[in-house]
A and B are shown apart, each in its own frame.
Chain A
Amino acid sequence: MAYSDKVLDHYENPRNVGTLDKDDPNVGTGMVGAPACGDVMRLQIQIDDDGVIKDAKFKTYGCGSAIASSSLVTEMVKGKTLDEVEQIKNKDIADELALPPVKIHCSVLAEDAIAAAIADIRAKRGENAA
């Protein structure tokens, strides 16, 4: 299957690969997996005192589309508040990367990973999930 230029770009030069301290109260970690292709994704966000995301890191084992989806998401979330980031839907990711229908589930994985990371940070801060 032919990947779009944007997928190839993120796949060949993934942004923000790495880890943040999962025990830091300002760091939220989301881990998800897709049984369909055995992909595993870990996405972490770090917020500042104003609740704005200042850093994001990911590690994804999976196909090019899954790696590109998580790489793109780490770029999209920086500088946004948790409420703003919750508005990111898998369709935004799929559209931006021009994912074909059979790869839409890779963007679902990225959306669910970010949701899990937000839920983790909210739980740490004693907030109820929105």
Chain B
Amino acid sequence: MQVDLTSNYFELFGLPVGFDVDLQRLQSRYQELQKVLHPDNFAAASDAEKRWSMQAAATLNDAQATLKKPLARATYLLRMNDVDLDTETDTQMSPQFLMCQMELRERMEDISSKADPYSEVESVRAEISELTSETSAQFAGSFSSNDFAVARDFARQWQFLDKLARETDDIEAALDEA
């Protein structure tokens, strides 16, 4: 097994470049490469080789974490094509999308005052999950047809949904503590 730090994350694991990733294969390749880079294998190596192995292990971890999570993988694929999400500087989103976000946020804000907050959490979570599935499918479709501008829009929307999903988990955790 070779570890080539100049290759992209997909090549690093011998996977085809694309949004669909065989997660089992990713995991087994990751474990193989981890073994190759294990510090025990570099006990007698030069300082330069030790440094390289540590850097390679860090890159390997980044690569695995990036390809494992669909949104991180989508963002990485766009960056490979010189497309940045400009998550901090570009604030223009479709008005309908923002309206939908506002409505979801309003529902989330009201959860704790509901008679049955847990069922409301579940209902909001199901809606976010459905929107996320739709958005990731739309990303995959536009990315595979090389329509990067549209793919970028969907990846940006996905970021909002990802944040909402995490906040829903926080709300539920807060209900458990109350």
Contact = CB atoms under 8 A, between A and B. Distances in A.
Interface of A: 31-38, 40, 42, 59, 61, 105, 108-109, 112-113, 116
B93 interface: yes
* Interface residues on chain B, size class: 20 to 34
Nearest to B157: A35
A40 B87 contact: no
Given A33-B91, A36-B87, A112-B91, A42 B159 contact: no
A13 B92 CA distance: 28
A19 to B, nearest CB: 10
Contacts, number: 59
Contacts of A37: 163
Interface in B137-178: 156-157, 159-160, 162-164, 167
26 contacts: A31-B95, A31-B98, A31-B99, A32-B92, A32-B93, A32-B98, A33-B91, A33-B97, A33-B101, A33-B160, A34-B88, A35-B87, A35-B93, A35-B159, A38-B162, A38-B163, A38-B164, A38-B167, A42-B102, A59-B102, A61-B102, A61-B109, A105-B88, A108-B91, A109-B91, A112-B91
Among B87, B162, B164, the one with the most A-chain Cβ atoms within 10 Å of its Cβ is: B87
B68 interface: no
